[in-house]
Amino acid sequence: MGIAFSPSNGGVTTPLGHEILYGMPFSDPEKQREYKREWQRARRERTRQDPDERSGTQLQSPDDVLTVLEEQVDRLRRDSRLRSTDRAKAIAQLAALSLKVLESRDIERKVEGIESVIRMREPKTLLGRSRAA
């Protein structure tokens, strides 16, 4: 005599006839899998509904990134729940990222300038030869 599983009610029956039902999601493997699936679905749904994504902010240029970084620094400065050391670390990281964005914006502008000079010179050549030759 031992403990018998009763699949009809989702529990077990002891040798004395007492039923022990699986009440917690982790005690029954199938319920555990179902709970985990539902938890992951809910988590994905929360991620999809992130407030920053709903605002429609699309980062297509370095200036867009700088705008978002400025907003985040302002939020950090206003957040009274953070310790000053944590706030300083976060702002320092955002500042470092801002410097990288500024560098990439400067490089982008230099490349655009070079491309415009090349476009101005292209009409002066015919089939790879200059007009003077």
What is the SS3 assignment for 126? strand
Q: Where are the domains of the chain?
A: 1-49, 59-133
- pLDDT per residue as tens digits for the range 18-40: 665 555 556 677 877 888 888 78
Whether pTM exceeds 0.75? no
Whole-angstrom Cα distance, residue 108 to residue 121? 20
| Packing angle, helices 84-121 and 62-78, rounded to 10 | 170
**Do 79 and 87 form a contact (C-beta atoms < 8 A)?**
yes
- pLDDT per residue as tens digits for the range 95-133: 999 999 999 999 989 999 999 999 888 766 555 555 554
